[in-house]
């Protein structure tokens, strides 16, 4: 008879059901049952992720003609007091098995976002990322600046999409499109764009932190935290701050 440790290790290393598991399920040892229940929960979570993944694919495929090139578009950084707003556009292949578990960037850890960003770049048929500066945000307003940045993202794709799905925005483009509320939770293509926009912006703010360490950009990504507001009072605003945003507009 195998030890509990051996059985636990075997279950951790096995992804699919095997015939030997019949005996494991009948083993009355408490440690074995605990390991067996953990394996079952892992399988259930895996099954749920697959169902959610397929639902997102089906959502995207419901637009355009069968086999149409569908682009997802999303943004990151509309709310911060500093830094650019970053947008991304992504066209995914029909077979996206490597992206199971991909979700709205806000629902994933930084490590998972980084890993998925690499996978999206590897498997996407085409993708693009656009940075809209704080200066342009102040000139145009955040809504228009985001819209124009999304338009640039779509136009920079090496493949022209036949249909564009945009997270809660309507773009000034001739391509058929639909504005999807909470699109990053419904569409795989929008979720992929969300990941690229978020990771690109975070990397930018981490680099900005090296140039302006007193503001703590690497920690809050430009949002109006207590630390950030205190730094603004002490050091003033940089060229990367949005002068049209409160409280900066009133402070300076």
pLDDT of residue 105: 82
Identify the CATH class of 70-206: alpha beta
pLDDT digit string (tens) for the chain, length 252 residues: 789 988 888 898 888 888 988 888 898 899 989 998 999 999 998 899 999 999 999 999 999 899 999 999 999 999 999 999 999 999 999 889 999 999 888 889 999 999 999 999 999 999 999 999 999 999 999 999 999 999 999 999 999 999 999 999 999 999 999 999 999 999 999 999 999 999 999 999 999 999 999 999 999 999 999 999 999 999 999 999 999 999 999 987
pTM score, whole prediction:
0.90
pLDDT of residue 71: 98
Q: What is the Cα–Cα distance from 149 to 137, expressed in whole angstroms?
A: 10
Kindly give the pairing relationship between strand 126-132 and strand 85-91: antiparallel
Taking residue 171's Cβ as centre, other Cβ atoms within 10 Å add up to: 22
CB-based burial of residue 18 (10 Å sphere; 0-12 exposed, 13-18 middle, 19+ buried)? exposed
pLDDT of residue 103: 86
Residue 235, sorted as left (phi over 0), alpha (psi -120 to 50) or beta, turns out to be alpha
Which helix (H) or strand (E) segment holds residue 166: the answer is strand 163-167
Q: What is the Cα–Cα distance from 156 to 66, expressed in whole angstroms?
A: 24
């Amino acid at each position: 008879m195998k030890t509990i440790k051996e059985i636990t290790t075997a279950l951790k290393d096995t992804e699919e059901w095997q015939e030997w598991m019949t005996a494991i399920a009948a083993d009355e040892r408490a440690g074995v049952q605990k390991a067996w229940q953990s394996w079952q929960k892992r399988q259930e979570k895996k099954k749920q992720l697959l169902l959610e993944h397929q639902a997102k694919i089906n959502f995207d495929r419901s637009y355009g003609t069968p086999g149409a090139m569908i682009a997802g578009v999303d943004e990151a950084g509309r709310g911060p007091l500093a830094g650019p707003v970053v947008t991304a556009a992504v066209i995914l292949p029909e077979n996206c098995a490597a992206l199971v578990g991909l979700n709205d960037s806000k629902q994933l850890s930084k490590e998972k976002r980084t890993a998925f960003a690499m996978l999206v770049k590897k498997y996407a048929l085409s993708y693009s990322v656009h940075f809209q500066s704080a200066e342009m945000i102040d000139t145009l307003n955040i809504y228009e600046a985001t819209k124009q940045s999304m338009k640039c993202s779509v136009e920079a794709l090496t493949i022209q999409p036949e249909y564009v799905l945009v997270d809660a925005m309507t773009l000034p483009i001739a391509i058929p499109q639909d504005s999807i509320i909470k699109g990053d939770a419904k569409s795989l293509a929008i979720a992929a764009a969300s990941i690229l926009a978020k990771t690109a912006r975070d990397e930018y703010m981490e680099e900005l932190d090296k140039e302006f360490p007193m503001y703590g950009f690497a920690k809050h990504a430009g949002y109006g935290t207590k630390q950030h507001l205190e730094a603004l009072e002490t050091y003033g605003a940089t060229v990367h701050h949005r002068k049209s945003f409160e409280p900066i507009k009133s402070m300076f």
